[in-house]
Chains A and B, each alone.
Chain A
């Protein structure tokens, strides 16, 4: 197979939402001496197309999730073969989790997948995560965003706790804090002083893009709202 065919195979395996095939295609490309950076660019094009297809209603969640997995597996192989000085281009690092007391994770997982599909480096800290733990991970990972999901009126106050703790520990200006989840409204987000609020996984991506493109630093002057 020539280089072009190998890259097409990688591209197709992601569009076909086949993680194993994507890993195999990535390995085959490396084995044939294809430049890792070039392969990553091709994979990124494929996953961006997947994101567009999902937003357009042409594909559904299982395909989105599996394509995300295909991307992850091929990236794991390709990124090991980058030359020194080459770095993958991710937009920013996002630490995401469901707050204390909350084990709902379907929505959080969707947001995480959509963000990574759209070029963010996502670190998922899971569910029922105490405020300080989220902050510790965000500090350690030098994240740009903290994304907090809450599905219950009784767990929402923990979003505020994270913001308070950030302020108390003097780290509030290190992260854009965005919030979401069923009962979390834009009004509530404003009230607790979050930097952004979104009501879907698609809006989470637009929200992060907008915050990055804005000239603002956290905490922003007025909460960004993305429907």
Chain B
């Protein structure tokens, strides 16, 4: 029995079908001209064998329509990602929605909001919180880019090992700098499944590093997550439809490569676009443009049918754990969920991709719960229509508090966040006027106060350590 997540049976349609046709057509035209740049000799030769037109000199690959259609048809529309604890398996695709976390380069000091490098213990604490949160369905990349004096190139392998030790949720991990040579060994050693992520280089480029990682993921038999990242007005057109076309063309190219390499290869399509801040050139995370972009992309890709993920709800422009962070994440999450995404990054990120903190994740878990409750919609039955009840209770002085129907249904109907303040005004004043942030800090403390749970045996720990040492030797010249 996989994790339930939430179900969205009637996704929001942003565009009429004819306009979705126009996006699809646009992407196919771009795949034919100018094509996609593959900075990888193996990929050029391989794609030429599959019937693409390859220009060796420029590295451009042009994709015939029939090949794209055949590969889209080949890709699985739903599949399972096994978790160390099978109750945490994910059943990706269809109408199901899961939540996961974003990441940050550093942690922050909760009192001063100053960024700083986390310690190893704080890294572990962060994983323990992610493990404990009910709506955090699987682990994602990082959460932080390292800890203490760990060399940066070891951040991914060391993080993956800690995920395995302190969580039994599925992890979708980053592949870069050959990290997967070691993270996959770890998964194999522990008999676990892991999924790998590669990123395109917008506009319209796949690097040789991404291709190398894709091959390793496919060869290992794991699911492949492809993530785009066009910044509107920077690495993609400033308009939402244009930017969706750039992202779509990049994914379609990798769908072709992966499906030709292994027909039926499991793929999760990750969308991660944002407008560009035209003052600084940084991504304007948190702007509503990211949500328009997700909604349009999701509708197009729902037609293709592959499982989808959205990254931008996990990243905001706010710098602290405060109101702006809440509305930016909340709006992005509801838009992504309504438009039918299957997994979204939401928890943890504090300031764009630069900082993250588990207290933020605790607050975000309430957003996930609210959004999930909303898209789950309403059961429609004799009992919920309650006409017989309404007739029986009648007008004043009738009321519903003393009805068995109320006792049975209210909990199902209501979602109350764990950190939202729900006291009366008087209680709130007497209790020290606590905010959601205070409640989240208290919950953080109580999660960490529980006995530390380990999910690996001492033998497995030794094996993970051995592989990390191997990684250390491999990366020696870069440490």
Contact A62 B278 (CB under 8 A): yes
Contact A61 B177 (CB under 8 A): no
Beyond the given pairs A110-B281, A183-B105, 8 more chain A to chain B contacts, judged by CB atoms under 8 angstroms and listed by A's residue number, are A60-B278, A61-B276, A103-B207, A153-B105, A153-B145, A182-B354, A200-B280, A201-B281
Which of A62, A106, A153 meets B235, CB within 8 Å?
Answer: A106
- Minimal Cβ-Cβ distance residue in B for A183: B105
| Chain B residues positioned under 8 Å from A101 (CB to CB) | 177
Question: How distant is the Cα of A101 from the Cα of B155 in the complex, in angstroms?
Answer: 16
Residues of A participating in the B interface, judged by any CB pair closer than 8 Å: 57, 60-62, 101, 103, 106-107, 110, 153-154, 156-157, 182-183, 200-201
| Chain A residues positioned under 8 Å from B234 (CB to CB) | 106
- Complex A-B: 8 CB contacts under 8 Å: A103-B207, A110-B281, A153-B105, A153-B152, A154-B152, A154-B153, A154-B176, A182-B354
> Does chain A have a CB within 8 A of B231?
yes
> Does chain A have a CB within 8 A of B460?
no
Interface size on B, residues (CB 8 A): 21
> Does chain A have a CB within 8 A of B279?
yes
- Minimal Cβ-Cβ distance residue in A for B209: A101
Given that A103-B207, A154-B176 are contacting pairs, would A62 and B231 also be in contact in the complex, using a CB cutoff of 8 Å?
no
Q: Residues 420-458 of chain B: 1 if any A CB is under 8 Å from the residue's CB, otherwise 0? A: 000000000000000000000000000000000000000
Contact A153 B278 (CB under 8 A): no
Q: Which of B105, B152, B153, B207 counts the most A-chain CB atoms under 10 A from its CB?
A: B152
Contact A61 B281 (CB under 8 A): yes
Contact B105 A107 (CB under 8 A): no
Q: Residues 172-213 of chain B: 1 if any A CB is under 8 Å from the residue's CB, otherwise 0? A: 000011000000000000000000000001000001000000
Which of B146, B233, B279 meets A153, CB within 8 Å?
Answer: B146
> Does chain A have a CB within 8 A of B408?
no
| Chain B residues positioned under 8 Å from A200 (CB to CB) | 280
Q: Which of A60, A154, A200 counts the most B-chain CB atoms under 10 A from its CB?
A: A154
Shortest CB-to-CB span from A161 to chain B, Å, is 10
Contact A153 B155 (CB under 8 A): yes
| Chain B residues positioned under 8 Å from A182 (CB to CB) | 105, 354
> Does chain A have a CB within 8 A of B478?
yes
Question: Which B314-360 residues have a C-beta within 8 angstroms of A?
Answer: 354
Shortest CB-to-CB span from B330 to chain A, Å, is 27
| Chain B residues positioned under 8 Å from A154 (CB to CB) | 152-153, 176-177, 478
Given that A103-B207, A183-B105 are contacting pairs, would A61 and B279 also be in contact in the complex, using a CB cutoff of 8 Å?
yes
